[in-house]
Structure 1
Amino acid sequence: MHSKQVLFTLMTAMAGVGMAADASDVHQLKSDEFDAFITDNKLVLAEFYAPWCGHCKALAPEYETAATELKDKGIKLIKVDCTEESDLCQKQGVEGYPTLKVFRGSLDGPTPYTGQRKSASIVSYMVKQSLPAVSVLTKETIESFKTSDKVVAIAYFNADDKKSNETFSSIADSLRDDYLFGAISDPAVVEAAKVKAPGVIVYRTFDEPETVYDGAFEKDAVTSFIKTTAIPLIGEVGPETYAGYMSAGIPLAYIFVEGDEQKTKFTDGLRKLAIKHKGKINFATIDAVAFGAHAQNLNLEQKWPAFAIQETVKNAKFPFEQDKELTIEEIEKFTEKFVSGEMKPSIKSEPLPEKQGPVHTIVAHNYEDIVINNDKDVLVEFYAHWCGHCKALAPKWEELGALYYNNKEFAEKVIIAKVDATLNDVPDEIQGFPTIKLFAAGKKDAPIDYSGGRNVEDFVKFLKESGTHKVDATEALAKSQEEAPAEAESAGKAAPAATEEKTEEKTAEPTAEEAAKESKHDEL
């Protein structure tokens, strides 16, 4: 190719890039534009990012696609570069990248975006935010509404049934981020739907397209029905579905498969079993090639096909013996034994530590003794040995542990502890690393999630304010820092605000669970 042709080709390509950038439907805002844009638009999704952030780069094309799809619906997507607009990002409380927030025509009370970071999920989430919790439907609008999302719940009422209407509105308010809700009281439409009012029909784009609920119209029962029906009979575990399975509140049966042939074999073969236990156990395949490392979290070896059941509430694991051939018949026998309560869970644990230091080391076999069976406030770090952010926190955590451990009065009331949640089975469902929880004395069944800054001063303040014993180690910390100013400056210095994700960005192959733990809802 001649030099002129090369130059022309490069210029054409560069022009194309410029046109693509100019055509972006994502609004890049500066600090002096932000307030007016937010107040001038009814619904805005804002991304606060840094150009060097790997998660932000992965989100960028998905965010662009979503912006284009939402443009015609009057929903705006914006982004703010926090390396240039640091004051604005600090004002918005940005502590990690990317941070996404939903604004509703006001600068007051933005809510965190809690959906997945894929374009389809962003669109679905924001459309739900744009609608009332319950859309009032007519015979003209109901048909299109039924197919407006993957899962749509429509209530059929008698016009004068205020009680059921209020119950359904309450359910919709609590689940509006997950599903679309509609209601109709047109007698002809109710009759045509062949549902006894008050009743609910869940419309889906998978399995049976319609499932009817006509039982007692009580909040817990209807909520359980909707959440159960929203999950496919035999679905697939992955970054976008993992959190939903974990929050369903019932056991999850994993089938690790290699390739479409194995997937089809087990999906078809286990259909009757899944129908039999619908609402009691969720069945799902998992791609062993992409997420095989997740097997270790279920106490399985990476040998395929494989099967395990996880009690999601208790985080108990029941792996199928891998020295036996995995067949449909064996899975059926295994599942029935699990349902009957005859099976004991498998427990993964590191060895018990020979002695404890300022930071108590928790393993599965001493978890109850250190965390639950005492009258102390126990602050626990759930970490992963591969997590870079956990490694960065380690010296501060050791300093915190020493502060309480070396003071006899404090040590009688407070324990600072840590557990590698990837090497030990713990009853808590961990959504990201590091995760920090306070098990306050007398309130062990309701641990408090810590979401503050990661420096010693913040942890001390948190224990004082949230612990049962209200231990105030502020003066002791100040004294220790005076005695060792250089060391304290290095160990206790606050990390720069919003420099990276709060969970580890991994280079090794992640598990499906770990993929879902990226910044609490990130994808591969």
Structure 2
Amino acid sequence: MAAAARLLRAVSLLLSCLSAAVSSRRDALELRDTDFDYLAAEHETMLVKFYAPWCGHCKKLAPEFEKAATRLKGSVQLAKVDCTAHSETCARFGVSGYPTLKIFRYGKDSGPYDGPRTAEGIYQYMRKQTGPDSVHLKTRDDLRSFINNYEASIIGVFSGAHSPGLAEFLKAAGLLREQFRFAHITDLQLAEEHGCSSECVLLFRPPRLANMFEDGVEVFRDHLTISSLRRFIRDHIYGLCPHMTLENRDRLQVRDLLTAFYDLDYHHNVRGSNYWRNRVMKAASKHTGRGLMFSVANKKDFLSELESDFGVGTSDGGDLPLVTIRTKLGYKYTMREEFTRDGKSLERFLEDYFAGRLKRYVKSEPVPEQNTAAVKVVVAETFDDIVNNPDKDVLIQFYSPSCPHCKKLEPAYRELAHTLYTDQNIVIAKMNAVDNDVPLGYDVQGYPTIYLAPVGRKDEPMRYEGGRELQDFLRFLKREAGHGLVDGGAKDEL
């Protein structure tokens, strides 16, 4: 009897797990040509992923999309369309690449989804797509509840429902709702305790980021327009030291940015997360106005970036924060000294940074001991010496060792180098763009990417967009190189 009972419990547990798995899979609808229109029309807001099963980016997105579908169940419907099986629907909505994500409202295409591709990012982005552009807060309890949120809150305070300022505020909320949370008040008394006794806009930073170095609320009293409100939010939303996430990093990294990476977790350990942030903020408060922004981030979220961009390993730093600076020009620095609890090591790092004494971190392969082949090998540390040589025209190919297109190009590119081997005025070169930092001015988004750095115009490299045969390259160089070409005899690779 006992064995039978155990078997029954095991079967019950298995069925429960299978039921949960099936339920999770069904949280994202699978739509087809035959049912897309009538099923999509049933939902006020729907996020649709158009994909192809063979697409690598689609495979990477799939588990994040499913997690988001489960979290959004009941508020926003997520759905997917396999474009290899249901091409009619995909063609109708102009899908030309995978994955393509679009937002639909009652079956009508409302526009592209431009948000993050993580489960958390999709969740946060799509939550903002539901409900009104701005929530009407009618009581103090409504106000306290709204601002007690993980994200920042922008609240317009107006004297009545017919205020011209309110109409402009609602327009701005409609345009910016995907990025920020908006609410409004039509009773001035509700906002008096926050220093707002006349019409204004209040920006509340998240309570989890409260600190002694800055106020938790900013007040906007200028003439309200969509542009002026947008500027106010942009200038004040982050404060002295924002929490950088995978979702907001692109907006933060357009500035010179110092980031302290550590075991940050605002969901489960607010006090511990703010322990190190307060030390960063102390330094930030001393250097306001010097053009450097400060931030903190979860080290685990950015491990791949730290490893690839800064050469930092998973064990580096231990439990102490790792500190980096990335400038808007792409220069990178790392704090080599351990982060001390008194913050003095961070101060010394900042003093050296502002004094220009820090050595930039450059990811580079070792400099080749011999570089006598027809195609010269360039690494990050030799880029200036070879490519920016003021006396030579340099054609450089940025490649990936695993790229099949690069391997296909290799014979023609080597033949070009052989053909021009005796021309002392031109260099045919290549650089592994995966294991070396690509300098500014060279936009490498795919492989191979080829540029000409001509004599007299090294700061304006010219992207090569022509054919991939020998004569195509020769015609281009004859037309664009600063020196005339000298076709020489080929030399064997050494």
C-alpha spacing 1:421/1:205, structure 2 compared with 1 (3 Å):
farther
Partner residue in 2 for 1:423: 436
1:55 aligns with 2:63: no
Partner residue in 2 for 1:135: 134
Structure 1 unaligned blocks of 5 or more: 448-466, 478-524
Shift of residue 371, structure 1, vs aligned partner: 9.3
C-alpha spacing 1:257/1:267, structure 2 compared with 1 (3 Å):
same
Partner residue in 2 for 1:297: 309
Q: Which amino acid aligns with 1:298?
A: F
> What TM-score, normalized by structure 2, do the two folds share?
0.64
Bigger mean CA offset, 32-41 vs 279-288: 279-288
Shift of residue 213, structure 1, vs aligned partner: 3.2
Instruction: Tell me the distance in 1 between the aligned counterparts of 2:22 and 2:248.
Output: 32
C-alpha spacing 1:197/1:362, structure 2 compared with 1 (3 Å):
farther
C-alpha spacing 1:3/1:357, structure 2 compared with 1 (3 Å):
farther
State whether residues 308 and 317 of structure 1, in contact with CA within 8 Å, keep that contact through their aligned partners in structure 2. no
1:126 aligns with 2:123: no
* 2:29 match: secondary structure: strand
State whether residues 299 and 319 of structure 1, in contact with CA within 8 Å, keep that contact through their aligned partners in structure 2. no
State how 1:105-504 maps to structure 2 within 5 Å: 105-106=106-107, 108=109, 110-118=111-119, 120-131=120-131, 134-135=133-134, 137=136, 139=138, 144-147=145-148, 150-156=151-157, 166=168, 169=171, 173=175, 175-184=176-185, 186-189=187-190, 191=192, 193-195=194-196, 197-208=199-210, 210-214=216-220, 223=230, 225-227=232-234, 229-231=236-238, 239-240=246-247, 242-247=249-254, 249-256=255-262, 266-277=276-287, 280-287=292-299, 291=303, 294=306, 297-298=309-310, 302-304=316-318, 305=320, 307-322=322-337, 328-339=343-354, 343=358, 345-350=360-365, 354=371, 363=380, 366=383, 391-395=403-407, 398=410, 420=433, 422-424=435-437, 426-427=439-440
Instruction: Tell me the distance in 2 between the aligned counterparts of 1:251 and 1:341.
Output: 16
Instruction: Tell me the distance in 1 between the aligned counterparts of 2:178 and 2:451.
Output: 28
Instruction: Tell me the distance in 1 between the aligned counterparts of 2:273 and 2:150.
Output: 26
C-alpha spacing 1:473/1:158, structure 2 compared with 1 (3 Å):
farther
Bigger mean CA offset, 426-435 vs 323-332: 426-435
Partner residue in 2 for 1:100: 101
* 1:130 match: secondary structure: coil
Shift of residue 14, structure 1, vs aligned partner: 3.3
Q: Which amino acid aligns with 1:104?
A: R
Instruction: Tell me the distance in 1 between the aligned counterparts of 2:150 and 2:340.
Output: 40
Shift of residue 420, structure 1, vs aligned partner: 2.0
C-alpha spacing 1:19/1:381, structure 2 compared with 1 (3 Å):
same
Q: Deviations over 1:450-491 (max 9, x none)?
A: xxxxxxxxxxxxxxxxx99986889x88xxxxxxxxxxxxxx
Q: Which amino acid aligns with 2:380?
A: V
Instruction: Tell me the distance in 2 between the aligned counterparts of 1:371 and 1:176.
Output: 46
State whether residues 320 and 334 of structure 1, in contact with CA within 8 Å, keep that contact through their aligned partners in structure 2. yes
Instruction: Tell me the distance in 2 between the aligned counterparts of 1:89 and 1:277.
Output: 52
Instruction: Tell me the distance in 2 between the aligned counterparts of 1:136 and 1:94.
Output: 37
Partner residue in 1 for 2:28: 26
Q: Which amino acid aligns with 2:123?
A: V
Bigger mean CA offset, 430-439 vs 26-35: 430-439
Partner residue in 1 for 2:11: 10
Instruction: Tell me the distance in 1 between the aligned counterparts of 2:88 and 2:123.
Output: 29
Instruction: Tell me the distance in 2 between the aligned counterparts of 1:220 and 1:440.
Output: 41
State whether residues 316 and 427 of structure 1, in contact with CA within 8 Å, keep that contact through their aligned partners in structure 2. no
C-alpha spacing 1:224/1:381, structure 2 compared with 1 (3 Å):
farther
Shift of residue 130, structure 1, vs aligned partner: 3.1
* 2:63 match: secondary structure: helix
C-alpha spacing 1:270/1:28, structure 2 compared with 1 (3 Å):
same
State whether residues 274 and 283 of structure 1, in contact with CA within 8 Å, keep that contact through their aligned partners in structure 2. no
Q: Deviations over 1:229-258 (max 9, x none)?
A: 4447556556455445424x2412324569
RMSD: 5.6
Q: Which amino acid aligns with 1:76?
A: Q
* 2:345 match: secondary structure: helix
Q: Which amino acid aligns with 2:283?
A: L
Partner residue in 2 for 1:43: 45
Instruction: Tell me the distance in 1 between the aligned counterparts of 2:382 and 2:362.
Output: 9
Q: Which amino acid aligns with 1:211?
A: V
Instruction: Tell me the distance in 1 between the aligned counterparts of 2:334 and 2:304.
Output: 14
Instruction: Tell me the distance in 1 between the aligned counterparts of 2:115 and 2:264.
Output: 31
Instruction: Tell me the distance in 2 between the aligned counterparts of 1:46 and 1:22.
Output: 18
* Greater relative contact order (Cα < 8 A, sep 6+): 1
Shift of residue 137, structure 1, vs aligned partner: 3.2
* 2:35 match: secondary structure: helix
> What TM-score, normalized by structure 1, do the two folds share?
0.61
1:65 aligns with 2:73: no
State whether residues 363 and 419 of structure 1, in contact with CA within 8 Å, keep that contact through their aligned partners in structure 2. no
* 2:34 match: secondary structure: helix
Q: Deviations over 1:345-395 (max 9, x none)?
A: 344444678479789957365379859999x99998586x6xxxx534433
Shift of residue 101, structure 1, vs aligned partner: 2.7
C-alpha spacing 1:12/1:197, structure 2 compared with 1 (3 Å):
closer
Instruction: Tell me the distance in 1 between the aligned counterparts of 2:103 and 2:459.
Output: 32
Instruction: Tell me the distance in 2 between the aligned counterparts of 1:446 and 1:230.
Output: 36
Q: Which amino acid aligns with 2:233?
A: I
The structure in which a higher percent of residues are helix is 1
Shift of residue 319, structure 1, vs aligned partner: 2.0
* 1:31 match: secondary structure: coil
State whether residues 30 and 80 of structure 2, in contact with CA within 8 Å, keep that contact through their aligned partners in structure 1. yes
Instruction: Tell me the distance in 1 between the aligned counterparts of 2:137 and 2:31.
Output: 40
C-alpha spacing 1:82/1:400, structure 2 compared with 1 (3 Å):
farther
Q: Deviations over 1:9-56 (max 9, x none)?
A: 437623652475258433222221113333453421113456787535
Structure 2 unaligned blocks of 5 or more: 473-494
C-alpha spacing 1:60/1:322, structure 2 compared with 1 (3 Å):
same
* 2:128 match: secondary structure: helix
Instruction: Tell me the distance in 1 between the aligned counterparts of 2:262 and 2:395.
Output: 37
Q: Which amino acid aligns with 1:366?
A: F
How many residue pairs were aligned? 442
Instruction: Tell me the distance in 1 between the aligned counterparts of 2:69 and 2:335.
Output: 44
Shift of residue 331, structure 1, vs aligned partner: 0.9
Shift of residue 211, structure 1, vs aligned partner: 1.5
